[in-house]
Amino acid sequence: MRARCQKTDRVVMAKQMVLPMATVVSLLLAMPAGIPAAGPRLYVVNGQSNTVSVLDPAARTIVATVRTGSRPQHVNVDPQGRFFYVTVLFTNESDDLVQVFDVTTNAMLTSVVVGHEPAYIVPSPSGTRLYVASKAANTVSVVAVPEFRRIETIKLKGKGPQGPAITPDGKTLLTPNSRSGDVSVVDLERGSVDLIKLPPGARPVAIGVNRNGQLAYVTDSGLNQVHKIDVAGKVLLASLSVGGRPVQTPTHPTRPFLYIPCMDAAAVYKVDIDAWRVDKVISVGRGPQGIAYTSDGHYAYVTLTRETPHGKVAVINTETDAVETTLPSQDAPNGIAVLFGKNQGG
């Protein structure tokens, strides 16, 4: 199916360029890996305006506004720098999608039907698979890249999966199950699924893993804690109190820290994962939710969902733990990803 391409005031319409699948695959296979955009890029999902803001952090400006389907939830980027991916919700279960956009042109290339209420999307370290957690379906959809075809549906034991993470070796997927208060551990080679129980009252939201993949960290908006789990042993090791409604938690790419946006605290909690203590509380603004890092970890970008009249993105210098500036966004910014950076799920 083809749709007419329209472009006005730097707004790229989501239905502008839906190519036949055979054409998409042939074009993508011919592309060299790691085609960068013109300088660093941030991708910010705006849940109430059905858009993704593409930001140039150096210029502190929005360089493009990309229309998506209804109620976009999360964004992530291809490790090879070719695509960015957006999960969107519709009123019909069969219409819940992952939309695939070209990084260079911001054009939508195709979409993939996944389970109902897709929340987060995580690429494999190689970029050859996408893992999409569907909250209402209690499944993870596996999508082949660059064919963009759903090749498997993993049925989880827990209920309400949200922000998954994959170990650096690409062998283990962990999903926090918000409705059953536990964590699913999926062996991607054997196809087995195990369960780690969290304390009573837990509502896990998102997971980050350390650099060797041995430990994982789970934010919990029910108990306002972060939990440390042993991935191989599949056991809960420790819990630590943080601010109200902790959300995303990718680990810092070069140092042993978590920077956890806590929505109700209007702050990011910096956790020393070696000492297992809160190292600092960084005030950032109203409704911090999503977080992503530059590849060297020098900057962390945090979406501020409740700022008015429009949301913003706080820029934290992780050397000083100070907010250097804020960047513009649109209404209710949620998920965020950095091109060639460290994002949720990695």
For residue 174, pLDDT beyond 90: yes
Q: How many helices (H) and strands (E) does the chain have?
A: 1, 29
| Calpha distance 67→50 (Å, rounded) | 6
Q: What percent of the chain has pLDDT over 90?
A: 83
Q: How far apart are CA 283 and CA 137, in angstroms?
A: 36
Average pLDDT, the chain: 90
pLDDT digits (tens, 9 = 90+) for 264-296: 999 999 999 999 999 999 999 999 999 999 999
Nearby residues of 318 by Cβ (< 8 Å), 6 or more positions away: 252, 255, 257, 259, 293, 297, 298, 299, 300
For the chain, give the number of residues: 346
- Strand, helix or coil for residue 134: strand
Measured in whole angstroms, the distance separating CA 22 from the mean position of its chain's CA atoms is: 28
Please identify, in words, the CATH class of the domain defined by 1-155. mainly beta
Neighbours of 7 (CB within 10 A): 12
CA–CA separation, 221 vs 112, rounded Å? Answer: 30
Count of C-beta atoms within a 10 Å radius of residue 20: 11
CA 23 to each of CA 2, 35, 232: distance values in angstroms, whole numbers, following the listed order: 12, 19, 41
User: Rounded CA gap, 67 and 78, in Å?
Assistant: 19
pLDDT at 90: 74
Residues 235-253 pLDDT 10s: 999 999 999 999 999 999 9
For the segment 107-116, the average pLDDT, to the nearest whole number, is: 95
**Tell me, what amino acid is at 184?**
S
What's the pLDDT at 92?
A: 64
Distance separating alpha carbons of residues 165 and 125, to the nearest angstrom: 11
Under the banding of pLDDT at 50, 70 and 90, the label for residue 340 is: very high
Structure tokens at 278: 């809160």
Scanning the structure block, which residue is given the tokens 């990718």?
A: 250
Quote the pLDDT of residue 32: 41
Query: What is the pLDDT at residue 101?
Result: 98
Per-residue pLDDT reduced to its tens digit, 39-85: 579 999 999 999 999 999 999 999 999 999 989 999 999 999 999 99
Separation between Cα atoms, residue 300 and residue 295, nearest integer Å: 10
pLDDT of residue 41: 95
CA-closest candidate to residue 63, choices 23, 140, 103, 10: 10
What residue type is assigned to position 261 of the chain?
P
Handedness of CA 134, 132, 53, 255 (dihedral sign): positive
Asked, as a colleague might, if the bond just before 146 is cis with ω within 30 of 0, I would say yes
